[in-house]
């Protein structure tokens, strides 16, 4: 790849080698002879970071000189994965580094695997934040990511006897070579206490918050470099520290444990990522985490603003703050508090600045995932914020009444406070009211937002809701994950495919009809499948046939994502392969991976079922090699990078209306897998671009799902009675065929499907079965399958996160000149 953006160095390979050896000696403290592989990784990472720093400091100087608008992306999660190849590749140093290390007998590709995944997120929402950071650096948007530096990221998943077991994740055990600790960048964040009202010398009424407890937020910066070193931004993560390391008085009095208890309480805030995905965490610690990072981030950005501009009145012109879901939505109240209480702006002015600076991205319509906090908890933990929220609410409701809106139901639905059994603060409504832009993450999801969660607020503020369909960064999900396909694309489309895939990838379409090209495409896929088969052999001791159809569903385990539908199909296929000898079955491998929230029992049972089905199928000789089932443990970004290039079929089968967007659907299509899916989330827009004839779309639409639920006329008993195939599958599960050690294990699950099929698994089963037969039909028509696969790659350019970020920057942030 070209390096024209780098300072020319006469011999870049030699220079890189020298840089690495210097880091090895002076930062790691080892010589080449005694260095472990991990020492090498650290030296390479540190040398790479130096290259970024030069760009970084330049960029900061330029931003200050030009007074460029800054974007602040607040997210409780950043699912980053490994950074080594990301950084090297974007700096144009990948081949240089590989050659430099080869000269000292070190294999860069082996060193790569030693880096732990930075798993500071649960799934799609956190991964989106990571893709956005990379795209913002690529597009030259001056951006700062803000989040929490969790000591323990998402748990490590072990599978023991088929059950998920959660183990502590320890990504920081060997330190983190990418980050800069900033001990001088530290803010006090307070909790609890009380508020007193005083009248100041000018006769103004002022509220003074006297908190009971204060912790320190210490900054750690990780530079994020864009493609071809376009620009470097910082991801600033906060670590919680106690205000005093040790309570010396108590220690001296002999209370050794009590003396450190406060330290432990303070530091627990950044100890561990909440593993709940899409469900309400409902914990005081969670609210403390949210306020902790929001408060530190807002103080930091206001300080930066004031150091460059003498006034806060131009804040919306110079700063845009994006809230990734409701997790940072306490920012509405905290920004008001800072502007009114600390910077002494009048309320109305502060409100105008707040609304014009903040914008909010909604990620889910699931009612259990809409955050709300008990008023009593807010009053205890954040008493001044609770006052501010009440005031915002009063102004809001008064304004509506002044417009002549008195309808009780309307006022109740748009209120910030949910009345009823125990009053709660609705964080979604708070984020909506405090933002000038509220966006959904796919066209369908945005439409459903207008029609469901925010119907009434949308009617009052029809301009605010807009759509920004998610995207993925092609640098990670194509260049790094699939170098063979990337190379093939470069050969046929030129390097433009690296720089502007949105314009260049469509030029691949004519190659879909060229047998010679398809042959190369097939060879690439086979290579990736052989590599994945080796990984499965090594980790699970299961042998896969690389010529079988690789049918893949990898994502968080959640009932709405319907891994269960896929498993029911797997069982039905197993039964059919054994019984229906007259049919020609295409050899197939069902691949599953994903984590379940530790407290989500039904999801954990689904993992157990996948493993029970796998054990049965894989050990049954009558299957004749036509079906294998694997559940790969510990799904994370790195595992996704290995699995996705090897997939032939991508499973995106959520109950329509429930998946806000999905992003793995885009990763798979970009790499040339065909999608079997419902018309849900971004699948809808994918089908408009890729063409229905190149996907397998099945099942109820969101509207049909809605009609069934409303009419309350959905009866899965009838669906089961009408489908002998489904009935047979359920009978086998119920009678313990797959759980001989505990025959009753799946009785509850089958009962649930029969009497309370909330995710319409049974309703879609037959349509899914039929779609899977179409999959096999096309798979057998080899050349037609691969033509469709090439077209999937050619038509996925629009789903680049560069396009998404360009839309945010233009429509919401006004940050691209
Ligand atoms: C892309 C990605 C996700 C999101 O997957 P969906 O299928 O869109 O839910 C989750 N986890 C990881 C590790 C990912 O890379």
**Nearest 5°: phi and psi at 331?**
-55, -30
Residue 5 pLDDT > 50: no
CB 123 less than 6 A from any atom of ligand 1: yes
Report the separation in Å between the CA atom of 666 and the middle of ligand 1, taken as the mean of its atom positions: 10
For residue 550, give the H/E element and its range: strand 549-554
Q: List, in order, residues 6 or more apart from 28 with CB less than 8 Å away.
A: 35, 39, 42, 43, 46
Res. 712 pLDDT band, cuts 50 70 90:
low
What is the average pLDDT across 123-129? Answer: 97
Identify which of 241, 291, 238 has the alpha carbon closest to the alpha carbon of residue 263.
241
What is the average pLDDT across 794-801? Answer: 98
Rounded Cα–Cα distance for residues 633 and 641 (Å): 14
Report the separation in Å between the CA atom of 169 and the middle of ligand 1, taken as the mean of its atom positions: 19
Sorted by where each starts, the structural domains of the chain and their CATH numbers stand as 474-700+758-804 (3.40.50.2000)
* Number of helical H runs and strand E runs in the chain: 35, 24
Report the separation in Å between the CA atom of 635 and the middle of ligand 1, taken as the mean of its atom positions: 9
Res. 713 pLDDT band, cuts 50 70 90:
low
What is the average pLDDT across 357-385? Answer: 93
Res. 384 pLDDT band, cuts 50 70 90:
very high
Angular region, 422: left φ>0, alpha ψ -120 to 50, beta rest: left
Rounded Cα–Cα distance for residues 666 and 672 (Å): 10
**The tokens of 103 are what?**
């000269």
Report the separation in Å between the CA atom of 636 and the middle of ligand 1, taken as the mean of its atom positions: 8
Residues 459-470 have pLDDT tens digits of: 999 999 999 999
CB 664 less than 6 A from any atom of ligand 1: yes
Residues 744-787 have pLDDT tens digits of: 999 999 999 999 999 999 999 999 999 999 999 999 999 999 99
Residues 251-290 have pLDDT tens digits of: 777 777 777 888 898 999 999 999 887 777 788 999 999 9
Res. 8 pLDDT band, cuts 50 70 90:
very low
**Nearest 5°: phi and psi at 324?**
-85, 95
Q: What crossing angle do the helices spanning 601-618 and 563-579 adopt, rounded to 10°?
A: 20
**The tokens of 519 are what?**
């042959």
Ligand 1, pocket-test mutation among 119, 121, 123, most atoms within 8 A of CB: 123
Choose the weakest-confidence range: 98-107, 508-517, 710-719: 710-719
Ligand 1, pocket-test mutation among 153, 556, 666, most atoms within 8 A of CB: 556
CB 643 less than 6 A from any atom of ligand 1: no
Residue 1 pLDDT > 50: no
The DSSP code sequence of 433-501 is HT-SEEEESSHHHHHHHHHTTTHHHHHH-TTTEEE----B-HIIIIIIT-HHHHHHHHHHH-THHHH-H
Taking CA atoms, 83 is separated from 50, 113, 492, in Å, by 14, 11, 29
What is the average pLDDT across 564-579? Answer: 97
* Ligand 1 atom having least distance to the Cα of 640: 15
Structural contact between residues 57 and 42, judged by C-beta atoms closer than 8 angstroms: no
Residue 66 pLDDT > 90: no
Question: Average model confidence (pLDDT) for the chain?
Answer: 95
> What length is written for the chain?
817
SS (H, E, C) 574-620: HHHHHHCCCCCCCCEEEEEECCCCCCCHHHHHHHHHHHHHHHHHHCC
Report the separation in Å between the CA atom of 385 and the middle of ligand 1, taken as the mean of its atom positions: 35
* Ligand 1 atom having least distance to the Cα of 652: 7
- By the 10 Å C-beta count (0-12 exposed, 13-18 middle, 19+ buried), 3 is classed as middle
CB 555 less than 6 A from any atom of ligand 1: yes
Identify which of 495, 279, 295 has the alpha carbon closest to the alpha carbon of residue 368.
279
Rounded Cα–Cα distance for residues 338 and 379 (Å): 18
CB 127 less than 6 A from any atom of ligand 1: yes
* Ligand 1 atom having least distance to the Cα of 561: 9
Residues 225-234 have pLDDT tens digits of: 999 998 999 9
Which residues are known to be catalytic?
363, 555-556, 561, 663, 667
Structural contact between residues 645 and 485, judged by C-beta atoms closer than 8 angstroms: yes
Q: Which residue puts its alpha carbon closest to atom 1 of ligand 1?
A: 664
Res 245: pLDDT: 65
**The tokens of 213 are what?**
């407890």
* Ligand 1 atom having least distance to the Cα of 661: 8
Q: Which residue puts its alpha carbon closest to atom 11 of ligand 1?
A: 123
Residue 525 pLDDT > 70: yes
Res 522: pLDDT: 98
Report the separation in Å between the CA atom of 74 and the middle of ligand 1, taken as the mean of its atom positions: 20
Residues 411-453 have pLDDT tens digits of: 999 999 998 878 999 999 999 999 999 999 999 999 999 999 9
Q: Which residue puts its alpha carbon closest to atom 15 of ligand 1?
A: 637
Rounded Cα–Cα distance for residues 365 and 367 (Å): 6
CB 440 less than 6 A from any atom of ligand 1: no
**The tokens of 183 are what?**
């001990």
Rounded Cα–Cα distance for residues 569 and 588 (Å): 12
CB 663 less than 6 A from any atom of ligand 1: yes
Res 3: pLDDT: 41
Report the separation in Å between the CA atom of 119 and the middle of ligand 1, taken as the mean of its atom positions: 12
* Ligand 1 atom having least distance to the Cα of 637: 13
Rounded Cα–Cα distance for residues 710 and 698 (Å): 21
Edge-first strand order for the sheet with 417-418 is 372-374, 424-426, 417-418
Rounded Cα–Cα distance for residues 254 and 209 (Å): 33
Rounded Cα–Cα distance for residues 766 and 675 (Å): 18
**The tokens of 96 are what?**
């240089």
For the chain, give the longest Cα–Cα distance: 93
* Ligand 1 atom having least distance to the Cα of 636: 13
Rounded Cα–Cα distance for residues 75 and 328 (Å): 7
**The tokens of 665 are what?**
């659907």
Ligand 1, pocket-test mutation among 77, 78, 117, 127, most atoms within 8 A of CB: 127
Report the separation in Å between the CA atom of 538 and the middle of ligand 1, taken as the mean of its atom positions: 24
**Nearest 5°: phi and psi at 194?**
-145, 170
Report the separation in Å between the CA atom of 639 and the middle of ligand 1, taken as the mean of its atom positions: 11
Structural contact between residues 499 and 228, judged by C-beta atoms closer than 8 angstroms: yes
Rounded Cα–Cα distance for residues 471 and 797 (Å): 10
For residue 234, give the H/E element and its range: strand 232-242
Residue 214 in 3-state DSSP? strand
Res. 554 pLDDT band, cuts 50 70 90:
very high
* Ligand 1 atom having least distance to the Cα of 663: 8
What's the whole-model pTM score? Answer: 0.97
* Ligand 1 atom having least distance to the Cα of 124: 4
Ligand 1, pocket-test mutation among 77, 79, 592, most atoms within 8 A of CB: 79
The DSSP code sequence of 639-707 is HHHHHGGG-SEEEE-PPTT--S--SHHHHHHHTTPEEEE-S-TTHHHHHHHH-GGGSEE-S--HHHHHH
Rounded Cα–Cα distance for residues 149 and 118 (Å): 10
CB 662 less than 6 A from any atom of ligand 1: yes
**The tokens of 12 are what?**
């870049």
Res 2: pLDDT: 43
Choose the weakest-confidence range: 186-190, 191-195, 260-264, 390-394: 260-264
* Ligand 1 atom having least distance to the Cα of 641: 15
CB 640 less than 6 A from any atom of ligand 1: yes
CB 126 less than 6 A from any atom of ligand 1: no
Angle value at C-alpha 341, between 338 and 345, nearest 5 degrees = 85
Report the separation in Å between the CA atom of 67 and the middle of ligand 1, taken as the mean of its atom positions: 36
Q: Which residue has the tokens 């433009």?
A: 496
CB 288 less than 6 A from any atom of ligand 1: no
Res 661: pLDDT: 98
Identify which of 345, 375, 457, 340 has the alpha carbon closest to the alpha carbon of residue 410.
457
Res 7: pLDDT: 44
Q: List, in order, residues 6 or more apart from 313 with CB less than 8 Å away.
A: 349, 353
Report the separation in Å between the CA atom of 663 and the middle of ligand 1, taken as the mean of its atom positions: 6
Rounded Cα–Cα distance for residues 146 and 355 (Å): 19
Q: What is the CA radius of gyration of the chain?
A: 27
Structural contact between residues 560 and 757, judged by C-beta atoms closer than 8 angstroms: no
Res 247: pLDDT: 67
Residues 601-652 have pLDDT tens digits of: 999 999 999 999 999 999 999 999 999 999 999 999 999 999 999 999 999 9
Percentage of the chain modeled with pLDDT above 70: 98
Structural contact between residues 178 and 45, judged by C-beta atoms closer than 8 angstroms: yes
**The tokens of 460 are what?**
């009052």
Q: Indicate the pairing of strand 424-426 with strand 417-418.
A: antiparallel
CB 322 less than 6 A from any atom of ligand 1: no
Q: What crossing angle do the helices spanning 761-780 and 782-794 adopt, rounded to 10°?
A: 110
CB 69 less than 6 A from any atom of ligand 1: no
Rounded Cα–Cα distance for residues 302 and 40 (Å): 40
- By the 10 Å C-beta count (0-12 exposed, 13-18 middle, 19+ buried), 496 is classed as middle
Percentage of the chain modeled with pLDDT above 90: 89
- By the 10 Å C-beta count (0-12 exposed, 13-18 middle, 19+ buried), 71 is classed as buried
Structural contact between residues 780 and 484, judged by C-beta atoms closer than 8 angstroms: no
Q: List, in order, residues 6 or more apart from 83 with CB less than 8 Å away.
A: 45, 115, 118, 178, 222
Identify which of 358, 448, 359, 427 has the alpha carbon closest to the alpha carbon of residue 661.
448
Residues 641-694 have pLDDT tens digits of: 999 999 999 999 999 999 999 999 999 999 999 999 999 999 999 999 999 999
For residue 187, give the H/E element and its range: strand 180-191
């Amino acid at each position: 790849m070209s390096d024209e953006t780098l300072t020319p160095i006469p011999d870049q390979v030699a220079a890189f080698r020298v840089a690495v050896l210097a880091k090895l000696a002076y930062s790691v403290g080892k010589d080449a002879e005694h260095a472990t592989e991990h020492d090498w990784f650290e030296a390479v990472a540190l040398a790479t970071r130096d290259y970024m720093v030069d760009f970084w400091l330049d960029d900061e100087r330029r931003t200050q000189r030009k007074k460029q608008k800054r974007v602040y992306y607040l997210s409780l999660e950043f699912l980053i994965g490994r950074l080594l190849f990301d950084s090297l590749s974007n700096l144009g140093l990948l081949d240089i580094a590989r050659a430099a290390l080869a000269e000292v007998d070190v294999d860069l590709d082996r060193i790569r695997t030693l880096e732990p995944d930075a798993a500071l997120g649960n799934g799609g929402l956190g991964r989106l934040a990571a893709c956005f950071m990379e795209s913002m650096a690529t597009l030259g948007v001056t951006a700062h990511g803000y989040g929490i530096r969790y000591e323990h990221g998402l748990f490590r998943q072990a599978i023991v006897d088929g059950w998920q077991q959660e183990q502590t994740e320890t990504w920081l055990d060997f330190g983190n070579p990418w980050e800069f600790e900033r001990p001088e960048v530290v803010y006090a964040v307070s909790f609890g206490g009380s508020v007193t009202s005083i009248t100041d010398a000018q006769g103004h009424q002022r509220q003074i918050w006297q908190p009971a407890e204060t912790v320190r937020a210490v900054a750690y910066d990780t530079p994020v470099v864009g493609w071809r070193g376009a620009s470097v931004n910082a991801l600033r993560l906060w670590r919680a520290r106690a205000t005093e390391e040790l309570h010396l008085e108590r220690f001296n009095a002999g209370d050794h444990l009590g003396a450190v208890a406060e330290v432990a309480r303070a530091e627990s805030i950044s100890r561990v990522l909440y593993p709940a995905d899409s469900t309400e965490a409902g914990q005081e610690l969670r609210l403390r985490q949210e306020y902790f990072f929001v408060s530190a981030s807002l103080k930091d950005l206001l300080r930066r603003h004031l150091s460059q501009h003498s006034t806060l009145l131009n804040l919306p012109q110079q700063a845009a703050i994006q809230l990734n879901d409701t997790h940072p939505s306490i920012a509405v109240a905290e920004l008001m508090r800072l502007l009114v209480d600390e910077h002494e702006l009048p309320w109305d002015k502060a409100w105008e600045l707040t609304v014009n600076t903040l914008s909010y991205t909604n990620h889910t319509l699931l009612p259990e995932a809409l955050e709300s906090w008990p008023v009593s908890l807010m009053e205890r933990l954040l008493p001044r914020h609770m006052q501010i929220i009440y005031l915002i609410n009063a102004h809001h409701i008064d304004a509506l009444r002044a417009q002549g809106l008195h309808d009780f139901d309307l006022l109740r639905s748009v209120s910030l406070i949910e009345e009823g059994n125990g009053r709660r603060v609705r964080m979604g409504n708070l984020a909506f009211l405090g933002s000038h832009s509220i966006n959904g993450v796919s066209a369908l999801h945005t439409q459903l937002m207008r029609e469901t969660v925010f119907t009434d607020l949308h009617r009052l503020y029809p301009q605010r809701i807009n759509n920004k369909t998610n995207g993925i960064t092609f640098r990670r999900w194509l260049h790094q994950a699939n170098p063979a396909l990337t190379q093939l694309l470069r050969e046929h489309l030129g390097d433009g495919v690296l720089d502007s895939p949105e314009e260049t990838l469509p030029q691949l379409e004519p190659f879909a009809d060229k047998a010679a090209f398809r042959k190369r495409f097939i060879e690439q896929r086979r290579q990736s499948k052989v590599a994945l088969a080796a990984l499965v052999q090594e980790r699970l001791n299961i042998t896969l046939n690389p010529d079988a159809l690789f049918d893949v569903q990898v994502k968080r385990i959640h009932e709405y994502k319907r891994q269960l539908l896929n498993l029911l199909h797997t069982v039905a296929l197993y039964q059919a392969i054994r019984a229906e000898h007259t049919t020609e079955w295409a050899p197939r491998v069902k691949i599953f991976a994903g984590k379940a929230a530790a407290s989500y029992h039904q999801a954990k049972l689904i993992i157990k079922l996948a493993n029970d089905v796998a054990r049965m199928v894989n050990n049954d000789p009558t299957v004749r090699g036509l079906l294998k089932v694997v559940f790969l443990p510990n799904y994370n970004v790195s595992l996704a990078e290995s699995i996705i290039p090897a997939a032939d079929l991508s499973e995106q089968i959520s109950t329509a209306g429930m998946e806000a967007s999905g992003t793995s659907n885009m990763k798979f299509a970009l790499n040339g897998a065909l999608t079997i899916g419902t018309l849900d989330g971004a699948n809808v827009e994918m089908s408009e671009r890729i063409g229905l004839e190149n996907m397998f779309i099945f099942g109820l639409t969101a509207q049909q799902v809605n009609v069934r639920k409303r009419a309350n006329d959905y009866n899965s008993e009838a669906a089961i009675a009408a489908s002998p195939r489904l009935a047979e599958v359920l009978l086998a599960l119920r009678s313990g065929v797959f759980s001989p050690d505990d025959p009753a294990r799946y009785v509850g699950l089958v009962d649930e499907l029969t009497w309370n099929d909330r995710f319409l698994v049974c309703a879609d089963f037959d349509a899914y079965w039929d779609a899977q037969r179409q999959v096999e039909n096309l798979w057998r028509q080899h050349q037609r399958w691969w033509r469709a696969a090439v077209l999937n790659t050619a038509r996925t350019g629009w789903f680049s996160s560069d396009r998404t970020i360009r839309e945010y920057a233009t429509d919401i942030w006004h940050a691209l000149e």
